Amino acid sequence: MFKKILCRVLLLLSFATPVLANEEPLTLDWIDLVPEAERNMFDSMGMPETDHSGNAAQQSKVGSVRPELNGSTVKIPGFVIPLEGDANTITEFLLVPYFGACIHVPPPPPNQIIYVKFPKGAPIQELWDVVYVIGRLKTDTMNHELAETGYLIDGTAIEAYDDM
């Protein structure tokens, strides 16, 4: 009797906790990182103006993260801002929703910047265009001199972007 109950419990647990290697990533758009209640405010903000004056642009701290996404395996497109690495690979970078974010314009709010740790290193030549980053998403705040981020991804793969 005990063995039957144990087998049923183990069977149920096997359905409740998918194995990471077989887990299909959740494909996200940047708006998906914004809580539903804040999306109207986000839509009205629009694209920031380009600033080439050399003055440091201030980041808006308005907006929160979606805690229910914490621990999800995700796939999200974006532009890379390299932070750490060598001449051939990048091991840490910011992923942002539009070109020039954090450099030529004020940084987006923290819930629109992802700090990516990619221990195996991403080849530099693959990072000049939009790419998909795949990995485990965390709702961790990271502070960097360029910006504060609301999310962190432990990256496992980078793929070429296709908008189809």
Condensed to tens digits (0 to 9), the pLDDT of residues 11-36 reads 333 333 343 456 799 999 999 999 99
**Which one has a higher pLDDT value, 26 or 59?**
26
State both tokens at 40: 């109207």
The superfamily (CATH) of domain 24-44+63-160 is Protein of unknown function (DUF3299) (2.40.50.870)
- Decide if pLDDT at 9 tops 80: no
pLDDT of residue 138 exceeding 60, the answer is yes
Q: Which amino acid is at 134?
A: I
Q: Which residues contact residue 93 at a Cβ distance below 8 angstroms, ignoring those fewer than 6 apart?
A: 80, 81, 82, 83, 84, 85, 116, 118, 122, 127
The pLDDT value recorded for residue 48 is 46
pTM value is 0.76
Average pLDDT, the chain: 79
Query: Is the per-residue pLDDT at 149 higher than 70?
Result: yes
The whole-number average pLDDT for the span 117-141 is 88
- Residue 26, φ and ψ in degrees, nearest 5: -80, 115
Three-state SS at 95 = strand
Domain boundaries defined on the chain: 24-44+63-160
Phi, psi of 67 (to 5 degrees): -60, -25
Summarised one tens digit per residue, pLDDT across range 67-120 is 999 999 999 999 999 999 998 899 999 999 988 777 667 889 999 999 999 999
